[in-house]
Amino acid sequence: MADLQPVRGTRDLLPDESRRQRQVVDAARRISALYGYEEIAVPIFEFTEVFKRTLGDTSDIVTKEMYTFTDRGGEQITLRPEATAGIMRALISGGLTQNLPLKFFCTGPMFRYERPQKGRYRQFHQIDIELLGAPEPEGDVEVIAIGAHILEELGILEKTRLELNTLGDFESRAAYRGALVAYLSRFHEGLSEDSRLRLERNPLRILDSKDDGDKRIVADAPIFFDYLNEASRDFFKTVQDRLSALDISFVLNPRIVRGLDYYCHTVFEFTTTTLGAQGAVLAGGRYDGLAEAMGGPATAGVGWAGGIERLAMLAKEAPAPERPVAVIPIGEDAEQVALRLARDLRHRGISVELGFRGNLSRRMKRANKLNARAAVLIGEDELKRGSVALRNLDTGAQAELPLGALADRLAEER
């Protein structure tokens, strides 16, 4: 058993790391609620078709990164690589389209088979915001504002940069797609094998290729903005104006794309260079065609996902847990009194450490090791008087007080 290790790309979240990640989730949950977003939880696994429809048969996630298996009933099942598909499936299968607009917050583990690197794992965790049924540009602004607010709450907004682009409406996108295919076709032989396959089915994905040869070709490709119709330009201008009104700074990046056909209008990323190579810590966009692609009714949607591991690495140090009070019985007769006392203090919201064994010296050493703020000593004399000895472990000062007054004193000194 000594050689057992976690699976590559996974790790144990020990208390310090759990506390840092919980800080991210708690901030996101609290801030999103201020904007009216309610928490939703969807299954960790879905029928594989849910992700094939939403992520595309030619995407790297579907072809190379999904954890897919056949269950005992012969069904193809996939561990979720992201949350949006499951939330949209819930919208359709749960008949929730009658209640639009809907605002959802979601958090939990995701799974992708990719090369582990700093802040990225095969089992990773995300926070996720989805606004469904709001086609107006103000919806884009709101979800971006929530992201900025959460980053500010975590003390990392200044470590990031908001990069913004537009894909226009579906008419503009079709015009751009034609121009892009015409350009890339001239370099067909120079494209990577993956990009040659995508040229026919999903050419926009080539813009996001990591192949060096593809990057050189794409560098001079047409720019999306040149193919926007007037309605798309107006939509994007409204987004920019509203963000500026909220004092949310941004830079335009025409190379931010989403390769799937249901994406439109605003796409964005909050990126950082603090973790090494520049990378997104929170990214999203508008996906008005996703519900239809999944067989549901036309439903506007916009949202984002943020990587909890990377956000936790950037965030300010999480507050340490509350320093406990050590309740230390001295002698057999004090054990039951200490047990009841510890219960009563915990019910008052006071953190208590009740050692299970050892003499006074050993229990005091453990109290100091746990950084306890005080020790409550209950010995034979205290039992007779119905009192306890309260020792401040920072100053060493000790006082005796009635048992019934202990909880109020500890609460005052917290």
Scanning the structure block, which residue is given the tokens 């904007």?
Answer: 35
Among the residues of 58-188, which ranges form H helices? 60, 84-93, 137-153, 170-185
Tell me, what amino acid is at 384?
K
List CB contacts of 13: < 8 A, sequence separation 6 or more.
Answer: 21
How would residue 256 be classed by pLDDT, with cut points 50, 70 and 90?
A: confident
Burial class (CB in 10 A: 0-12, 13-18, 19+), 50: buried
Which of the pair, 118 or 202, is modelled with greater confidence?
202
Cβ 286 vs Cβ 104: under 8 Å = no
**Distance from the first to the final alpha carbon of the chain:** 44
- For the ranges 4-13, 19-28, 208-217, the maximum mean pLDDT occurs at 19-28
Beta bridge partners of 391: 375, 398
pLDDT in tens, 368-399: 888 999 999 998 888 889 999 999 999 999 99
Dmax of the chain from CA atoms?
95
Scanning the structure block, which residue is given the tokens 């209008």?
Answer: 265
Scanning the structure block, which residue is given the tokens 């500026």?
Answer: 244
Ordered by start, the domain boundaries in the chain are 15-169+229-314, 325-412
- For the ranges 23-32, 316-325, 346-355, 358-367, the maximum mean pLDDT occurs at 23-32
Q: What's the pLDDT at 73?
A: 93
Beta bridge partners of 45: 79
Interval 345-357 mean pLDDT: 89
Instruction: Look at the chain and count its residues.
Output: 414
DSSP string covering 282-345, please? EEEEE-TTHHHHTTS----EEEEEEEHHHHHHHSPPPPPPPPPEEEEE-STHHHHHHHHHHHHH
Phi and psi at 325, nearest 5°, equal: -105, 130
Q: What's the pLDDT at 22?
A: 96
d(CA 213, CA 204): 16
List CB contacts of 383: < 8 A, sequence separation 6 or more.
Answer: 333, 334, 337
Per CATH, the number for 15-169+229-314 is 3.30.930.10
Instruction: Identify which of 107, 108, 99, 106 has the alpha carbon closest to the alpha carbon of residue 132.
Output: 99
Per CATH, the number for 325-412 is 3.40.50.800
Tell me, what amino acid is at 81?
P
